[in-house]
Chains A and B, each alone.
Chain A
Amino acid sequence: MKEYVLLMVSAALVNNVILARFLGLCSFMGVTTRIDTAVGMGMATTFVITVSSMADWAVETYLLQPFGLGYLRTVTFILVIAAAVQFTEMTVKKVSPALFQMLGIYLPLITTNCAVLGVALLLVEGKMSFISSTLFAFASSIGYTLVMVIFAGLRERLALADVPRLFAGPPIGFIVASLLALAFMGFSGMSTN
């Protein structure tokens, strides 16, 4: 139990997908102008990362490794991620057309989110069991959502702040992101890995 908790804390905070591994920066800058859109994107990404990681683990364990097809890993994972996004889109549409109207805009963006592929490739590198890899993927995506929401909150406050004209908009956003990354570096003191 303790190892699972440590694994999740490490994935979410110490090795945060955005601020430590620098994955998913496009959505980090693009979708964080409002807290609610950041939550929407974060939740959709969490769902897709978790589901696609489960599928990627199964493909890696039962297909790529036994048949020595490791060189096809990246291409296969991209295909699995695209299929997971398509599955999510179809499922949300089936579960509730009204939800699909609201959340559908985020789903195609996730296909091109490098965090999804990055987490899947990290799982292979880590040679984890199924439950560990699922928890790792879930915690990584919770870390992604957490940073998105924190950054969206900061940007909402920045929009009201008196920022010098040259720094207004994305420049002050990048500076705040760097300060946030510095703050998250504090978590690296919790682990030697």
Chain B
Amino acid sequence: MVEGFAHVVAVEGGVAWLEPEQTSSCGSCASSSACGAKGIGTTASRLEARRFKLDNYAGLVVGERVVVGIRENALVKASLTAYAIPLAAMLGAGAMAQWAAGSDGITMAAMVAGLVLGLGIARLSAGRLSSRGDLAPRFLRRANVGVVCKIN
């Protein structure tokens, strides 16, 4: 299980809305003074855009800091779905157009069309993953005050 910290920002009935605390991929979360990437990932709007909801079985209240997790292979599955499928479709279309026509303009148009087609396939595939619950974060436990991720 891949773990991360999040803050509860709203509770609506049986659903809790959380904002992820981690602001960069280096895992420095609360050690923001040591993070060179903090300027590009910490704006309020960016965190708000990444807000997510959980079923509030644990009785979470606004302001609580919790540990949430996703399955080990979920990140790999998600990145393959979002990026590998459109890339494969795009390169496949480009290779066929180059083989058939051999012109830069036609190849470029075919690659753009392949990219759009690939994004459509990725959308269907992501919908299937979401409906199986493979991409949803889960509540694991409440975080102790002062606990931060280790930088190593």
Interface residues of A (CB under 8 A from B): 26-27, 30-31, 33-34, 36-37, 39-41, 43-44, 46-47, 50-51, 54, 58, 61, 91-93, 95-96, 98-106, 108-109, 111-112, 129-131, 134-135, 138, 159, 169-170
Is the beta-carbon distance between B41 and A58 smaller than 8 angstroms?
A: no
Segment 87-141 of B: residues with Cβ below 8 Å from A? 87, 90-91, 94-95, 98, 104, 107-108, 111, 115, 119, 122-123, 126-127, 129-130, 135-137
Give the distance to chain A from B38, nearest Cβ to Cβ, in Å.
11
A115 CA to B40 CA in the complex, in Å?
Answer: 18
Q: How many residues of B contact A (CB 8 A)?
A: 52
Is B79 located at the chain interface by the 8 A CB criterion? yes
Per-residue CB contact flags for chain B residues 10-53 toward chain A (1 = under 8 Å, else 0) read: 00000000001011111100000000110011000010011010
A43-B84, A138-B91, A169-B152 are known contacts; what are 10 more A-B pairs with Cβ within 8 Å? A30-B24, A34-B2, A43-B82, A95-B122, A96-B130, A98-B135, A101-B50, A102-B75, A105-B24, A106-B25
Give the distance to chain B from A84, nearest Cβ to Cβ, in Å.
12
Is the beta-carbon distance between B41 and A99 smaller than 8 angstroms?
A: no
Is the beta-carbon distance between B87 and A54 smaller than 8 angstroms?
A: no
Enumerate chain B residues within 8 angstroms of A58, measured Cβ to Cβ.
Answer: 108
In-complex Cβ contact of A30 among B22, B26, B78 (8 A): B26
Is B76 located at the chain interface by the 8 A CB criterion? yes
Is the beta-carbon distance between B81 and A99 smaller than 8 angstroms?
A: yes
Give the distance to chain A from B17, nearest Cβ to Cβ, in Å.
12
Is B61 located at the chain interface by the 8 A CB criterion? no
Known: A39-B79, A54-B111, A105-B41. Contact between A138 and B25, CB under 8 A? no
Enumerate chain B residues within 8 angstroms of A109, measured Cβ to Cβ.
Answer: 24-25, 37, 40-41
Give the distance to chain B from A41, nearest Cβ to Cβ, in Å.
6
Is the beta-carbon distance between A36 and B72 smaller than 8 angstroms?
A: yes
Is the beta-carbon distance between B75 and A95 smaller than 8 angstroms?
A: no
A106 CA to B27 CA in the complex, in Å?
Answer: 12
Give the distance to chain A from B114, nearest Cβ to Cβ, in Å.
11
A6 CA to B135 CA in the complex, in Å?
Answer: 38
27 residue pairs of the A-B complex, CB under 8 angstroms, read A27-B25, A34-B2, A39-B75, A40-B25, A40-B76, A43-B79, A44-B79, A58-B108, A96-B81, A96-B82, A98-B130, A101-B50, A101-B52, A101-B137, A103-B78, A104-B46, A105-B22, A105-B23, A105-B41, A108-B41, A109-B24, A109-B40, A129-B104, A130-B104, A131-B94, A131-B107, A159-B152
